[in-house]
Amino acid sequence: MAALPHDAGCIFCKIVKGEAPSFKLYEDELTFAIMDINPFMHGHALVLSKGHYPNLHAASDDSVAAVARTAKKIAAAVDDAVKPDGINIVQANGQGAAQSVLHYHVHVLPRRLGDNASLNWSLTPGDQDGIARLAADIRARL
């Protein structure tokens, strides 16, 4: 397999390479899953392409398929750990879609009935200890 593209200035590339901290959930040849440290909801996880692609349009077909497979796996574990009423799988492309990190990834968003959540959430740091505990719980279910 050819080397995956990398951007040394990208926070997600740094996380994938182990150069920045994360609450890692899962990793395979093409994907890397972590807890979101600015969670939209309790249990919010991210599935990253290991290759640096700024968005879905630039991503390789193999990376898109791998991210989808991993998102399914992570969603099942989050569902089991958090017991939400539902889960959104969200992928944003560009500023107008509130894409805050220009690296292809999807959000696994647990939802509750009546949460009235808007998809353009603000980046508000979550409880890091709580996120770490939940990451361990979800990892155990993978």
- pLDDT value at 121 more than 90: no
**Token pair in block for residue 22:** 């994360």
In this prediction, residues 94-115 reach a mean pLDDT of: 94
Interval 79-88: pLDDT, tens: 999 999 999 9
Angstrom distance (rounded) from CA 102 to CA 15: 14
- Has 105 been annotated as catalytic? yes
Averaged confidence pLDDT in the chain? 94
CA distances from 84 to 16, 50, 51, 74, 106 (A): 28, 28, 30, 14, 18
What's the whole-model pTM score?
0.89
The pLDDT score that the predictor gives to residue 25 is 98
| Among 44, 103, 105, 107, the one annotated catalytic | 105
CATH number of 11-113+121-140: 3.30.428.10
